[in-house]
A and B are shown apart, each in its own frame.
Chain A
Amino acid sequence: MIKLLATIKKDIRILMRDRIGLVLMFGMPILLVLIVTSIQNNVFQPFSKNKVPLLISNNDTGRLSQELIRAVDQVGLFRLETFDSRRKHNGMLTLLIPAGFSAQMAATAKEKAGKALHSFGLEGDTAARPADADSLTLLFNPGIEPSLKLSTAGAIDGAIQMVESRQIIRNIYYSVNEKPLPDSLASQMLSSSMGLKEIAESKGGTAIPLNATQHNVPAWTIFAMFFVVMSLGGSVVREKLNGSFIRLKTLPTNYILALLSKQITYLGVTFLQAAVLFGMGVWLFPFIGLPALSLPHDGPGLILVTLLVGWCAVSYAILVGVVARTQEQANGFGAVSVVILSILGGLMIPSFIMPGSFQTIMQLSPLHWALQSYYGLFLEGGKLKDILINILPLLVITVVIQLAIVVILKRKKLI
């Protein structure tokens, strides 16, 4: 016990004097969480606060183009700005309404109304032909997200349908009643009485706020924990390469004790990282205009998952240090591999949009199981028993890494 305590003391002292390592382990993750959460906060803001700018160039002088613009506005997704198409613009999304749009829309509606009346056995104008005009055009910057382009096109398409349907109803109403359709009736006929209820699924039956903080803080905490590879992996290699290792081999103590000490020390570091980042989410974020982090109700579950994720991260870092022959190898491979594992684990790209083959590969990434465990607690309001299915694979991967460390150390005759 004296030996272990002395070794832990030595590791903590060396760690506290490694300023660059401390910045990498604490400063970088704090910055990362702040930046990513601030940026992604806009995505999670309600539409009333955060609308997509849409430029509209209306070259039509008719009534229906004005109705279309109103319908697009009522979708609630866009902040509309009109502009003159003859001038240059730098909009991300631009809707061009061609001259003659109203006439074409009116003719199309008249034709469809005529067909409907005819099918009811009433007299209708089925011979009406749509006027020849250019179609509506949506210009988009190639840099915008495909999902944003799709939702914009879908919303505009819905608005066109709305205007056309209203015009068809007007035509039918006029043909039957020989008077214009009252606006109130048109609105009643076109508005849906079947609402869409949106409920976030919760395992614990409690409402968890869905915001950028709740998504990003747990995810980037995992990334920070695995990034200890930069300090710990390098420290293992440094110890192997410098003279102290020769002396350690001649002293009546097994080298495995040195690795056990590093595991305990750095497990403390990862736990502290999580405490700092979660604390920042809870107390600092509201002061800088970001949503506060809501901690899971299952406190012991959160502590257990944090310790397990930390243990896995520390084990991985030691494995990298044991395998690497130089500090450059440990740092280079360590950093790149953690980025790859985090991409595969769904930290940077949501795992559900990954192709089928990656859905299998991502299950090998410990970061995937770590993220699922945290999401079970932070986003789904689950308890420990609800996330056992995610904790177990994480535990298995950690034990496999530990066994690999022992085998490699034995092969290299270091223990």
Chain B
Amino acid sequence: MGQPAVAITDLGFSYSPSNGSLFSGLNLEIAQGLRFGLFGPNGAGKTSLMHLMTGILGYEQGSIELLGHPVKKKNKTVNSLFGLVPQDFSFYEELTPVENLEFFGAWAGLSSGETRQRTEELLEVMNLREVRNKAVGQFSGGMKRKVNLAIGVIHQPRILFLDEPTVGVDVHTRRELIRYLIGLNEKGTTLVYTSHQLDEAEELCQRIALIDKGKIIACDDLGPLLTQHRQTDLEGLFLHLTGNAFDK
């Protein structure tokens, strides 16, 4: 596959020098085209690592590259390569889905025509046509999650970072979103995903990394990992490796 989608080498990061390092000498490589899951207990550093990979946080040591471009030097090229679907709703509640997509499309560097075309496609795929002119603030949790995801993919990024993309939605919407993500991956988008929904993760992820106290304690394809540690599911594997009660 050539260049890895994400390459983290000898990463060092701390929120403040007095708190000690969150990451020290961390290495991770995610190949292009994968559906990659990043799991760990609360406070393990999953969201921080995702924020470092997307340039929201700056690191002090090592390097992070997306498709061969260093993230440390935040520039238009790097930012055009990836999309982010944060855990918190990241849109303007006063605006309709169309208006949100129009704004974020422009900020992602799309032309007006491209934004219009992508907006129509996404409204169709996400089943949001009927509510296209309604303020997002009036939407249900599931519909908001769809808008959150649609904005993250409007510019058809090559890598998509997903932080708990289905939290708080019903089972139908969850299945709908997972199907969409698998379809997106089949078209070539690399997915980097984190969640506490381990059954969902088993369905979605081809390869996983378990992270605890800022260290990667396991990283492999899910099948071999389960066999190696004599576990039948991801939850059992997680409890086995972290030695902690997994916080759902």
Interface residues of A (CB under 8 A from B): 2-3, 5-7, 9-10, 13-14, 17-18, 242-244, 246-253, 413
Contacts and interface: CB of A to CB of B under 8 A. Distances in A.
Contacts of B82: 250
- With most chain A CB atoms within 10 A of its CB, the pick from B106, B107, B111, B152 is B107
- With most chain B CB atoms within 10 A of its CB, the pick from A7, A247, A249 is A247
Given A14-B94, A243-B89, A413 B58 contact: yes
Contacts of A7: 103, 106-107
Given A6-B103, A247-B86, A14 B92 contact: yes
Contact of A246 (B58, B86, B92): B86
B94 to A, nearest CB: 5
A244 B76 contact: no
B11 interface: no
Contacts of A249: 55-56
B86 A243 contact: yes
Contacts of B90: 242-244, 246-247
Given A246-B56, A246-B88, A17 B94 contact: yes
Contact of A17 (B102, B104, B112, B135): B135
B107 A6 contact: yes
11 contacts: A7-B106, A10-B92, A13-B94, A242-B89, A244-B90, A246-B90, A247-B152, A251-B107, A251-B108, A252-B75, A252-B77
A253 to B, nearest CB: 5
Given A10-B103, A246-B86, A251-B79, A18 B109 contact: no
Nearest to B83: A250
**Which applies to chain A's interface (DSSP): helix, strand, loop or mixed?**
helix
Given A14-B94, A252-B108, 10 more contacts: A3-B109, A6-B103, A6-B105, A7-B103, A7-B106, A246-B84, A249-B55, A250-B54, A251-B104, A413-B58
A103 B89 CA distance: 91
Given A243-B88, A252-B80, A6 B106 contact: yes
Nearest to B76: A252
A82 B135 CA distance: 68
A141 B220 CA distance: 89
Contact of B102 (A6, A18, A244, A252): A6
Interface string B56-90: 10100000000000000001110110101010111
Contacts of A18: 94
Contact of B103 (A9, A246, A252): A9
B151 A247 contact: yes
Contacts of A14: 92, 94-95
A250 B55 contact: yes
A252 B155 CA distance: 11
Interface bin, chain B: 20 to 34
Interface of B: 54-56, 58, 75-77, 79-80, 82, 84, 86, 88-92, 94-95, 99, 102-109, 111-112, 135, 151-152
Contacts of B91: 243-244, 247
A242 B100 CA distance: 14
Q: Which 4 A-B pairs have the closest CB atoms?
A: A6-B106, A243-B90, A243-B88, A252-B79
A81 to B, nearest CB: 60
Contacts of A251: 79, 104, 107-109
A252 B109 contact: yes
A257 B218 CA distance: 42
A55 B99 CA distance: 68
A257 to B, nearest CB: 8
B195 to A, nearest CB: 17
A210 to B, nearest CB: 45
A66 to B, nearest CB: 74
Contacts of A2: 106, 111-112
B106 A3 contact: yes
Given A2-B111, A2-B112, A250 B79 contact: yes
A7 B103 CA distance: 6
A209 B107 CA distance: 52
B95 A13 contact: yes
Contacts of B109: 3, 251-253
Nearest to B111: A2
- With most chain A CB atoms within 10 A of its CB, the pick from B80, B95, B105, B106 is B106
B143 to A, nearest CB: 16
Nearest to B99: A13
A2 B55 CA distance: 24
Contacts of A247: 84, 86, 90-91, 104, 151-152
Nearest to B91: A244
- With most chain B CB atoms within 10 A of its CB, the pick from A17, A18, A246, A252 is A252
B5 to A, nearest CB: 16
A287 B112 CA distance: 48
A7 B77 CA distance: 21
Contacts of B86: 243, 246-247
Contacts of A244: 90-92
